Structures are given as structure tokens and as C-alpha cells.
Amino acid sequence: NAGVTQTPKFQVLKTGQSMTLQCAQDMNHNSMYWYRQDPGMGLRLIYYSASEGTTDKGEVPNGYNVSRLNKREFSLRLESAAPSQTSVYFCASSASIGSEQYFGPGTRLTVT
Amino acid sequence: GEDVEQSLFLSVREGDSSVINCTYTDSSSTYLYWYKQEPGAGLQLLTYIFSNMDMKQDQRLTVLLNKKDKHLSLRIADTQTGDSAIYFCAERGNTDKLIFGTGTRLQVFP
């Protein structure tokens, strides 16, 4: 089992460009999450999907959209990247909301 | 609202014990978690404790929970250089989502 995988590992964007971060899990988990990690701020929840077919906003959803493509995959889209979105993005999954979460290796995004 | 706080840094000598502390505000928390993040990697679940427990031990790790003071700690016995990482505590709050602390960077020196 690969667990939670994320692509790409690194990305550099210019302001205004768009991109999609991909996430997949092979643990048959119902719930999936997107976080961003910034120095001194811990992890902040961007969006989550409690189950296939549902998505909800987290703490910092502005500037992002998500798609729960199927049970395995949950993507995060930046429509018009801004320098404030420079961060490390983590995808996670769990059997259900509130149960222990398993994290992917992260995507380091720089917006210039 | 729900909030989880940790000190930012801890430095210990190899072989000593490390104690990482965490405070939280949500008295209805059911589970509390400790995660470890090594450089350039994602978070890895270390251990967790249910809110009706005071203590949980797992090899070198001891978790203590003081529910009255809303205080959680992680003790690492015989700390090794491989324990150098960022440690996050997280609570399962009343919304059932996990709320993470800011993380404590543990540095182990010889």
C-alpha cells in the first residue's frame, strides 16, 4: 500500500497562473483533507470531504477549489495563484471524520 | 473557538527525556493525537489518547492528559538524534475535525 500520494512534489508558479494539486489514497478511507503549512502557524485546514460526493470549507478556503473525483482522489485547484499562497500543501485521509489522519508527503508551492 | 497551543522549540541532550507540552480549549475533545514531522516529510501519527484516560504508554513514549487543566504532554524517554523533528498535537473537537497546534521543533544534541 502506498498510503497517501501527492503530485507534484514541487511547483513554482507566476502570479495569476492556475494549477491543480493531486491527491490519492489507497486505504479505502471515506474522508479526505487539504491543509497548508506555514512557518509558525501549524496546519490550517483548507477544504475537506467527509465522504465521496461531499466537500466543505475549512478554516482558509479563499482562493481554492476542490473536487472529490471518486473515493480515492481529492484534488485542490488554485485558479489564480497569489504570492500569499506560497506554502507547503498536505493532503490527508481518514476512515471517517475525526479519526486518525494519514498524511501525504506534501507539495511545496512557490508563487512569484 | 477551538484553539491548540504549543511552545515552538525544545532542545535536549541525547539520552535525556523530552517533554513536549500542549494546551487546548475545547473541553468536549474526545481524542487527542500526537504527530511527528521529519524534515521534508508529511506528518506521521505517533500515538493518541482517549479523553477518559489519564496516561498512555507506548515503548519510549508516554502521553499524559490533565483534562481539568486541558493540558496534554508527550514524554520521550532516552531521546535520540533520530527523534529530532517537529511534533504536533491535535484535538478532535466538537466539529469532529482535527485542530492542530503550531508544532514544537525538538532538537537533540549530542
For the segment A57-112, what is each residue's pLDDT rounded down to a tens digit?
999 999 999 999 999 999 999 999 999 999 999 999 999 887 889 999 999 999 99
Instruction: Give A 33-92 residues with CB within 8 A of chain B.
Output: 35, 40-43, 45, 48, 58, 90, 92
User: Between the CA atoms of A26, A27, A32 and A37, what dihedral angle is there, to the nearest 10 degrees?
Assistant: -80
**Quick one: pLDDT band at residue B1, thresholds 50, 70, 90?**
low
pLDDT band at A5 (very low <50, low <70, confident <90, very high): very high
What is the grid cell recorded at A13? 508558479
Q: Shortest CB distance from A106 goes to which of B42, B44, B103?
A: B42
How does pLDDT run across A33-71, given as a tens digit for each residue? 999 999 877 899 999 999 999 999 999 999 999 999 999
Cα–Cα distance measured from residue B71 to residue B49, given in angstroms and rounded to the nearest whole number: 12
Q: Would you call B88 and A42 a contact, using CB atoms and an 8 Å cutoff? A: yes
- Which residue is closest to B92 within chain A, CA to CA? A98
Joined together, the cell numbers standing for residue A7 give 503530485
Distances (CA, A) of A47 to A42, A66, B35: 16, 7, 20
Contact B30, B51 (CB under 8 A): yes
Inter-chain touch B96–A97, beta carbons under 8 Å: yes
Tell whether A101 is within 8 A of chain B (Cβ).
Answer: yes
A60 contacts: CB under 8 Å, gap ≥ 6: A36, A44, A45, A46
**Chain A residue with Cα closest to B101:** A42
DSSP string, A29-89: -SEEEEEEEETTTEEEEEEEESSTT--EE-S--TTEEEEE-SSSBEEEEESS--GGG-EEE
pLDDT tens digits for B8-36?
899 999 999 999 999 998 878 788 999 99
Percentage of residues in chain B with pLDDT exceeding 70?
98
Residues whose CB falls within 8 Å of the CB of residue A104, separated by 6 or more in sequence, listed in order: A3, A4, A5, A6, A23, A90, A91, A92, B42
Other beta carbons less than 10 A from residue A91's beta carbon: 28
